Amino acid sequence: MALSVAVLMDPIRAIKIAKDTTFAMLLEAQRRGHALLYMEQGDLAVRDGRAWARLAPLTVKEDPSGWFSLGEARWQELAEVDVVLLRKDPPVDAQFIYDTMVLSVAQRAGVTVVNDPQALRDCNEKMYALDFPQCMAPTLLSRDKADLRRFVAEHGEAVLKPLDGMGGRGIFRVRAGDSNLNSMLETLLSGGLHGGSQAQFVMAQKFIPQISAGDKRILVVDGEPVPYALARIPQGDEFRGNLAAGGRGEGVPLTERDRWIVAQVAPELRRRGLWFVGLDVIGDYLTEINITSPTCARELDKQFGLNICGQLFDVIEHHIHGKRSA
């Protein structure tokens, strides 16, 4: 069953193919005989109530000296496409939200969009985890500096983070009594050094010492966990395990607790049409639910001989076959 598979992503010329999960998806789609089409954020439009995109034919290959080739881009109605892989990296800002709205128009016209654009609007990656408090360490979401200071004092040590970052950016580890706490909170509450006057939400989580063993990324495909996680282990004096912050990735089997956490979350992921998700787990606790463009498939594939994107395309093809047979 040959499909047309469009991808909305950050510029493909700038990716690191050895670690890029979107690239793995494209390789798998091409291996299965699907036609690839490429677009970036500026390539979406709505004309007379119908979603359009400026799409370029794409071919990919496992070659670090030249991993893609693009044909001539042309505008076409997205209803002509079978699948859109929505893989734009955070931040989930206003422009990203508008992209999801355009892709909801395409979805209503029959296009399969992965992940579901409505879910991407509804489920902030930091806040969505709060729907599963039984899985989380003590956590506070607040715009109030005094409230956040009390949380740090209560728990002795905490991690502070903004709601719209990725790759460990803007995350602080702080202890009660730290003379820098006010400065950290001012920076986060203002949305960074160049933020506006409106206070921003800040998430505070009790520090989990098991971060020394790694911040585990558990990939979940249509509610089913990949049996191994990538533990992203902090290096040197760094407390963040994110690979983008210099963490070292080490594959580990899922624990019984990991599987319990997945079982708590999976029914809601399925209900919302979140087919490719990355759960972040430190020790016994869920910390984030990554749904915009979760990564780590390539590292796990390499270490354990898996084909995680193959699992995803099994789900996509089964879904489309069901639609066509209905």
Q: What are phi and psi of 36, to 5 degrees?
A: -100, 140
Query: Which residue among 20, 99, 222, 288 is the active-site one?
Result: 288
> For the stretch 106-119, what's the b/e string if a residue is b when 16 or more beta carbons lie within 10 angstroms of its beta carbon?
bbeeebbbbbbbbb
Query: Which residue among 216, 240, 272, 298 is the active-site one?
Result: 240
Asked about 271 being catalytic, the answer comes back as no
Taking every pair of Cα atoms in the chain, the longest distance, rounded to a whole number of angstroms, is: 64
Asked about 272 being catalytic, the answer comes back as no
Asked about 47 being catalytic, the answer comes back as no
Give CA angle at 204 (199, 209), nearest 5°.
155
Asked about 290 being catalytic, the answer comes back as yes
* Other Cβ atoms within 10 Å of 65 Cβ, number: 5
Asked about 217 being catalytic, the answer comes back as yes
Contact between 107 and 134 under an 8 Å Cβ cutoff? The reply is no
156 Cβ contact partners less than 8 Å away, ≥ 6 residues apart: 175, 176, 207
Query: Which residue among 217, 272, 298, 299 is the active-site one?
Result: 217
Query: Which residue among 20, 82, 116, 126 is the active-site one?
Result: 126
Q: What are phi and psi of 119, to 5 degrees?
A: -65, -35
Q: In 222-299, which ranges are E strands?
A: 224-225, 228-233, 248-253, 276-282, 285-290
* Other Cβ atoms within 10 Å of 326 Cβ, number: 5
Query: Which residue among 82, 290, 298, 299 is the active-site one?
Result: 290
Contact between 106 and 84 under an 8 Å Cβ cutoff? The reply is yes
Asked about 270 being catalytic, the answer comes back as no
Query: Which residue among 206, 232, 272, 298 is the active-site one?
Result: 232
Instruction: Say whether 180 sits in a helix, a strand or coil.
Output: coil
Tokens of 42: 């500026």
Query: Which residue among 28, 99, 215, 280 is the active-site one?
Result: 280
Q: Using CB atoms within 10 Å of the CB of residue 161, give its burial: 0 to 12 exposed, 13 to 18 middle, 19+ buried.
A: buried
Tokens of 178: 């730290």
Residues designated catalytic: 126, 161, 217, 232, 240, 280, 288, 290
